[in-house]
Amino acid sequence: MTSPWTEDLPVVPAASRLIIERAHEEFVRGNSDDDRVRNVRGMVRESWRRSLDRLVGVEDLPPIGIPADELDRLRHEHPLAGAIDMIRTLLIPGVSEDSGVVVAVGDAAGRLLWVEGDRRLRLRAGEMGFVAGATWSEEAMGTAAPGTALMLDQSVQIRGAEHFNRLVQGWSCTAAPVHDPETRRLLGVIDVTGTDVVVTPQAKLLVDATARAVEGELLLSRLRARAEQPTRTRRSRTQPAVTGRTTLRVLGRDRALLETAADQSVTVFELSVRHAEIMLMLATHRQGLSAERLSELVYGDPEASVTLRAEIVRLRKVLEKSAPHLVPESRPYRLGGGLETDAQQLLSLLDRGAHRVALSAYRGDVLPESTAPGVEEFRDSVRTALREALMSEASVDVLLAFADTEMGSADGELLRLCLEMLPARSPKRAGLVARIEKLEQG
């Protein structure tokens, strides 16, 4: 099947892009009366103003707060789940991996639930956090097609420098909201991101038509269900209760922080070194651990179960006051409720291709001073996963940022890769050569 994104369609001249870039710079500086700003499309200018009023950063990365297991649940429960195949067929026919575009489907809050399409473009888009689980509402990322379409409740096209966030200005996008066909409640948004080919009039017609086709299919599915079960009592679908999320923060910290977010409030308290080690082992072994295995992971001795039991008693008393839902169960030892760790969140970001976001989330090694065997093993696995993902797929800008971290600064292979990827005339090459020579001499 022929892709609608491979035709030779007109693009915006470079001169026009430069004018918008300069208008954006003047606007951010506070010169909203500049003639170049006045020449920007009114819809874009108003979105810039909302972004500025909400203190959206011009180089901020999007929040990516949905862990992998919750993302699966949200996808399964979302009303658009049954329409994903239709969206793929209409917007990325043929070989999805070589389609030349990235197609995203988000919920009404601007959280991206599905991001599919051209693999090369998805890797590039991941650098700016355009991945499943990221929030691309206007409140979070400023002017961009998904969030602005949701804000205005209408289809939107944003071209290059019209984006409020500078990290996104190398892209163009078209998005359209999707509504419940009966109540007209906003369900989510469909977005196509890529080069200027995705912001043509034809592209807008195609994305709009896809949104309307999805709404039609939702209505037909409901009508069929009602016809097949006419006597069945119909119940409104209830949403699962929203519960607080608890995170164990262990990156770059010897004494972990236990952070619980609920009802727009956050409570934080610090754990002792030993309690942090136990909690980390239970969080990374959700199926549970025997007393002998947990003793081996924490103390390096499977016979230290008596010492472990005494420590578990003290840990339970701490958790009963601050996080009763996490009080460990016995036989096997396992947590009573769900617990995320910032290290596992980082690994999830790497899996989604959000390399720049993952690197910004890396605060240092997992419990760096801990000598517990289980912690040392997990620490090494996180370091290895981060390095391998960045070395194999990240852009040179992300690799250079990685080279400035404590972990990457003494990595000769990393520095040589950066040197290889930089343009021949890049002013950054001299500094890299000096660092490589110093490592080789030392």
Distance in angstroms (rounded) separating the CA atoms of residues 334 and 281: 9
Residue 264 confidence (pLDDT): 54
Dihedral of alpha carbons 86, 90, 92, 96, sign: positive
The answer to whether the beta carbons of residues 24 and 30 sit under 8 Å apart is: no
Give the pLDDT confidence score for residue 3 in this predicted structure: 62
How confident is the model at residue 198, as a pLDDT? 93
pLDDT of residue 276: 96
* pLDDT score recorded for residue 249: 93
pLDDT at residue 367, as a whole number: 96
The β-bridge relationship of strands 102-107 and 112-117 is antiparallel
The amino acid present at 314, given as its one-letter code, is R
d(CA 135, CA 129) in angstroms, rounded, equals 9
Q: Give pLDDT, residue 373.
A: 97
Residues 6+ apart with CB under 8 A from 40: 20, 23, 24, 27, 48, 162
Q: What is the pLDDT of residue 232?
A: 42
Omega of the bond prior to 332 within 30 degrees of 0, cis? yes
Low-confidence ranges of the chain (pLDDT < 70): 1-15, 94-97, 228-244, 262-265
pLDDT for residue 238: 38
Please tell me the distance from the alpha carbon of residue 195 to that of residue 159, in angstroms, as a whole number. 9
pLDDT attached to residue 56: 94
The confidence score (pLDDT) of residue 233 equals: 40
Q: What is the pLDDT of residue 432?
A: 93
